[in-house]
Amino acid sequence: MNAPVVFEGIGASPKRKEDLRFLSGRGNYTDDINRPDQTYAVMLRSPHAHAAIRGIDTAAAAAMPGVVAIYTGAEMVVGSLPCGWLIHNKDGSPMNEPGHPPLAQGKVRHVGDIVAVVIAETRPQARDAAEAIAVDYEVLGAATSMAAALAPGAPLLHEGAPGNVCYDWHIGDLAVNQAAFAQAKHVVHFELVNNRLIPNAMEPRAAIGDYDRTTDQHTLYTTSQNPHVIRLLMGAFVLQIPEHKLRVVAPDVGGGFGSKIFHYAEEAIVTWAAARINRPIKWTADRTESFMSDAHGRDHVTKAKLALAADGKFLGLHVSTTANMGAYLSTFATSVPTYLSATLLAGVYTTPTIYAEVKAVFTNTVPVDAYRGAGRPEATFLLERLVDIAAKQTGIDKLELRRRNFIPADAFPYQTPVALQYDSGDYQSTLAQALKTADWDGFEARRKAAAAQGKLRGIGISTYIEACGIAPSAVAGALGARAGLYEVGAIRVHPTGSVSVLTGTHSHGQGHETTLAQLVTDRFGIPLSQVDIVHGDTDRVPFGMGTYGSRSLAVGGSAMVKAMDKIVLKARRIAAHLMEASVDDVEFDRGTFRVAGTDKTKAWGEIALTAYVPHNYPIEEIEPGLDETAFYDPKNFTYPGGCHICEVEIDPDTGAIEVINFTAVDDVGRVINPMIVEGQVQGGIAQGIGQALLETCSYDADGQLLSGSFMDYTMPRADDVGTLSVATHETLCTHNPLGVKGCGEVGAIGSPPAVINAVVDALRDYGVTHVEMPATPAKLWHIINSGRQLAAE
C-alpha cells in the first residue's frame, strides 16, 4: 500500500524546510563563518555627535600586540555610500545629497560615525588597540532633533545642505485641496510624532571581507537582505570593483526588518581593507554598536487636517511632515516619507483630494531609513488616529464613519488622488469579520467588568491599506528610483526531475525555502523534498533585488512562475515529441503530460531525463536541458489591507497596560502557506505593539543615545504581547500570476493605531484626544493623574 500523499502545494502548511538546521544549531550566519588566516576588525567610532577631526594619532595603537593594520579616512579615499532614490523639491530642483564616506573625512556627524578601523589577529587585540588611538576632536554644536536642526543659526551638518534640509517635496494639487477645506462642515486638526525606532534584528550586523590576489577576486559575506544590490552599490559606486570580480554572499541572516537592506560602511571597509592586507577580515557588531550604527526607523513629525462634510464624508486631507534623515542619507531613506508614505494617505477611503508636503532634515543622529512597513505605518497611524478623532469631533460613530468613507468593493480598480491605483480589496468584509472575532458588540460589558476591578479598559480599531512589491521599474524610475524593481527567478530542473530554484529574493526569517518551494511543488507535482531554494549568493543566483517591502512572493514568486511557464512549455514540446503528438495537444497537470483526450501520458521524471539525455530528441528544434530564467517587472504595487482590533486594560494606580486581546483580519491576497502567513502577521503585530507601547529611541541634546542598549530600549518580551488572533480574508491581486499581495509588513502597519485608539478609548474619562507613542506606564499614569487632579479641583 502506498503512503498517502500529503498535499504540499499552494494553501498547505508543510513544516518549514529550514527549521531542522536552525533547531540543531546548524544555521550558517555570517559570524559563524571563519576564513583561513582570518583577522578581526574593530571600528573606532565617534563619541561625539558633531566634531571636526583635527588629527588622528595611530602610532601607539599600531605598536600594540597583534595589530595588523589601522586605516583612517586619510588612507581610505573611495566613493560615497550612495542613496538609491532622488527626490525633487517643490520647485523641481534635485534634493541636497551630501556625501557619506565609509571612514570619516575630517568630520564626524553622529555618535557612532566611523573614524578608523583597527585590524588585528584577535578581536580583543583589535579592541585594545582601538582604545589606544588618539583622536583630536574639535567638538561642534550638535543638532540632535529636527527642531534644533531647522532653528535659525543651527549647526550645519553638510556644506551642501543649507539649513540642514535635504529636500522640501510635495504631492497633490494645493488649490483643489484648499477649495475642499473651504466647503467643509468640519475640519479636524491633528499633530503627532511618529516615534523613532531601532530595528534590533536579533542577529547583529557582521561582514567578512576576503580577497584572492591571484584572481583579483573580492568576496564579501554580509548580513544583507539583498546581496546583489550590495554588489551593485558597493562595486559600482564605492569601491569601483566590477561585478565579475566581486562576490557577495548573504548566508543565513538573523532577521532584517529593513535594517539589513542598506549598504553600510563596514561592508565597504572590510572589502577594501582585505585587499590591502591580503587576508580575510571579520567584523561583527556588538549590540552597543548596532544601536549607534544600524539605520533607525520612523521619526516623523506631522501636522494634518481633515475636511469633512456634514454627513461625515471626507472631502480633503492636508498633511505636512518633517522627516528625520539622520546625519547621512542611507540607501533608501529619501523614499520612505515620500513615495512610501504620502502616497498611502488615501488609506481605504474615498477622500477626493489630498495634499502632502515633506521636509527632510539632517540631524546629528544615526541615519534613518526603512524599518518594517517603511512609511506606510506612519501614514496609517496618522490616518487611523485622525479618523477616530474626527469621529469624536463630529459625533459620528467611529465604525460608521469608516464605513461611510470606505472605497466600495465594486469600485476597483480605484485611482487615489496620490498616484496609486488599488487593484482589489473588500474593506467592509474584513471589518465585519474582525468585529465579529473580537466580539466588538460585547465590549461594553467587558469594560464594565474591568471597571468593577478598578481597571480602565479600552478598545481600538484600525482599517488600513498598504502597498507592497514596489513597482513597476519605469514608474519608480520616473519618480527618482535609481534601481530596477523587478525580480529574477531561475528554475533548474535536474536530470532526475528534482529542482533547484535560484531566486534573487533573500530569506531572513520569512521561510522562503518552504513557501517558494511550494510554488514548484504545486506546479510540477513533485514532493517538497525534491525542491531546494538557492538564494543569497551573487555567484549562484543570476541577479536579484532582494527582500524588502513584502515583495518576495508577489515579485520573486511571480518571476518563478514565469520561469516555470517556460519550463512547462519546453517540457510539453519534449513530451509531444516522445508521444508523437502536436505540442498543442499536450496538457500538463502537476507532473503528468497527457495527449488531450487520450490515455497517452509521460511522467515528469521521464521528460526531465530526456532533456538531459537527448537520445530520442528533436535536437534540431529544441536545445537539450531544462533550465530557465525569468525577470518579472510588476505592473503595479500590490495592496494588502485589513482590520486590526486591540483591547487593552490599564491599571490606573501604576499606568501599567496590558494588551488583553488582539484581533487581525488581513487581506494578503492568495495565501500560499497559512502557517507562515500567520507567523509573519503575529511578528509584525508584536513590533507594532512595541512601537505603540514600548519602544522609542531617545537622544539627549548633545546627541548621546539615551536608549543605547536593551537596558533602556524596551524590546517586546513574551509577557508584553499576549495572544494574537490572526485570520485572513482573501481578495486576489489582479495583476500578478499568483494573486498574492504580501504579508510581511501588515502586522506592523495596521496595529499601532489600533493599540493607541484603544488606549485613548480606555482614557475616555480623562479628557485626552491623543497619546503619543509609546504609551508607557509612566506616561499613562501622568495622564490619569493629571485628569484626577483636574477632577479634584
Partner 1 sequence: MYDFAYHKPTTVADAVKILSADSDARPISGGQTLLPALKHRLNKPTSVVDLSGIAELRGIKRDGNKVVIGAMTRHADVASSAEVKAAIPALAQLASTIGDNQVRNRGTIGGSVSNNDPAADYPSAVLALNATIVTSKRRIAADDFFQGMFTTALDAGELLVAVEFPIPEKAGYAKMKNPASRYVMAGAFVAKTGGQVRVAINGAAPCVFRQAEMEAALTASWSPAAVAGVVQPADDMNSDIHGSAEYRAHLVTVMAKRAVAAAG
Partner 2 sequence: MPQVTLTVNGKSHTVEVEARTLLVELLREKLRLTGTHVGCDTSQCGACVVQMNGDSVKSCTTLALQAEGATVTTIEGLAKADGTLHPMQEAFREYHALQCGFCTPGMVMSAIDLVEKHPQGLSEHEIREGLEGNLCRCTGYHNIVKAIGAAQEVMHGRSATLAPAHAAE
Burial 47-72 (b: 16+ CB within 10 A, else e): bbbbbebeebebeebeebebbbbbbb
> What is the rounded CA–CA span in Å between residue 431 and residue 412?
18
Q: Which of 139, 161, 238, 298 is nearest to 695 (CA)?
A: 298
* Comparison of 235 and 744: residue with beta carbon closer to partner 2: 744
- Exactly one of 224, 416, 736, 776 binds partner 1 (CB under 8 A); that residue is 776
> Judged by CB under 8 A, which of 785, 788, 790, 791 binds partner 1?
785
Q: How many CB atoms lie within 10 A of CB 264?
A: 26
Tell me the three state secondary structure of residue 486.
coil
Helix then strand count (H, E) for the chain reads: 20, 28
Q: Which stretch binds partner 1 (CB under 8 A): 70-78, 201-209, 666-674, 777-785?
A: 777-785
Cβ-based nearer residue to partner 2, 15 or 635: 15
Residue 656: contacted member of partner 2, partner 1, none (CB under 5 to 8 Å, by partner type)? partner 1
C-alpha cell at 281: 577580515
Which residues between 270 and 329 bind partner 1 (CB under 8 A)?
A: 288
298 residue type, one letter? R
Other Cβ atoms less than 10 A from the Cβ of 484: the count is 17
Give the one residue of 706, 769, 772, 791 binding partner 1; rule: CB under 8 A: 706
Rounded CA-CA distance 744/510 in Å is 8
- Which of residues 23 and 701 has its CB atom nearest to partner 2 in the complex? 23
Return the residue of 694, 721, 740, 773 that touches partner 1, per CB under 8 A. 694
- Those residues whose C-beta lies under 8 Å from the C-beta of residue 580, and which sit 6 or more positions away, are none
Strands 281-284 and 206-212 turn out to be: antiparallel
- In a 13 Å sphere around the CA of 303, the CA atoms on its Cβ side amount to 4
Residue from the set 8, 128, 513, 761 that interacts with partner 1 by CB under 8 A: 128
Residue 706 binds what, of partner 1, partner 2, none (CB under 5 to 8 Å, by partner type)?
partner 1
If one asks whether residue 122 binds partner 1 (CB under 8 A), the answer comes out as no
CB of 128 to partner 1, least distance (A): 8
**Which CB atom, from 47 or from 495, has the smaller least distance to partner 1?**
47
| Residue placing its CB nearer to partner 2 in the complex, 286 or 397 | 286
First to last CA, the chain: 83
Residue closer to partner 2 by CB (options 13, 350) is 13
Q: Which does 508 bind (CB under 5 to 8 A by kind): partner 1, partner 2, none?
A: partner 2
Contact 120, 277 (CB under 8 A): no
Give the three-class secondary structure for 509: coil
Give Cβ neighbours of residue 777 (< 8 Å, ≥ 6 apart): 654, 655, 656, 657
- Residue 174 sits in the site that holds partner 1 (CB under 8 A): no
Binding site for partner 2 (CB under 8 A): 13, 15-16, 18-27, 29, 31-32, 34, 124, 200-204, 252-255, 257, 286-288, 508-511, 675-676, 678-680, 682-687, 709-711, 715-719, 721, 723-724, 747
Instruction: Out of 138, 191, 444, 653, name the contact with partner 1 by CB under 8 A.
Output: 653
Figure out which of the listed residues 5, 77, 711, 792 binds partner 1, where binding follows CB under 8 A. Answer: 711
Tell me how many residues contact partner 1 (CB under 8 A). Answer: 24
707 binds partner 1 (CB under 8 A): yes
Examine residue 704 and tell whether it contacts partner 1 (CB under 8 A).
no
Closer of 166 and 206 to partner 1 (Cβ): 206
Q: Does 782 bind partner 1 (CB under 8 A)?
A: yes
Which of partner 2, partner 1, none interacts with 201 (beta carbon under 5 to 8 A by kind)? partner 2
Measuring CA to CA, which residue among 560, 18, 507 is closest to residue 226? 507
Tell me if 701 contacts partner 1 by CB under 8 A.
Answer: no
Q: Which does 254 bind (CB under 5 to 8 A by kind): partner 2, partner 1, none?
A: partner 2
Binding of residue 772 to partner 1 (CB under 8 A): no
- CA 524 → CA 245, 503, 565, 603, distances in Å? 36, 17, 11, 10
CA distance 793 to 784: 14
Which parts of 686-780 are beta strand (E)? 724-728
Task: Give the CA-trace dihedral at 70, 73, 77, 80, to 10 degrees.
Answer: 120
The C-alpha cell at 383 is 490616518
Min dist. Cβ of residue 375 to partner 2 (A)? 20
* Residue of 778, 788, 790, 791 interacting with partner 1 (CB under 8 A): 778
Identify the residue whose cell numbers are 567638538: 139
Phi, psi for residue 73 in degrees, rounded to 5:
-60, -20
Among partner 1, partner 2, none, partner that 776 touches (CB below 5 to 8 angstroms by kind): partner 1
Unique residue bearing C-alpha cell 526603512 = 370
Q: Which stretch binds partner 1 (CB under 8 A): 48-56, 355-363, 365-373, 712-720?
A: 712-720
The position carrying cell 577631526 is 53
Q: At closest approach, how far in Å is the CB of 127 from partner 1?
A: 8
Instruction: Using CB under 8 A, list all residues that contact partner 1.
Output: 124, 128, 131, 288, 653-656, 694, 698, 706-707, 710-715, 776-778, 781-782, 785
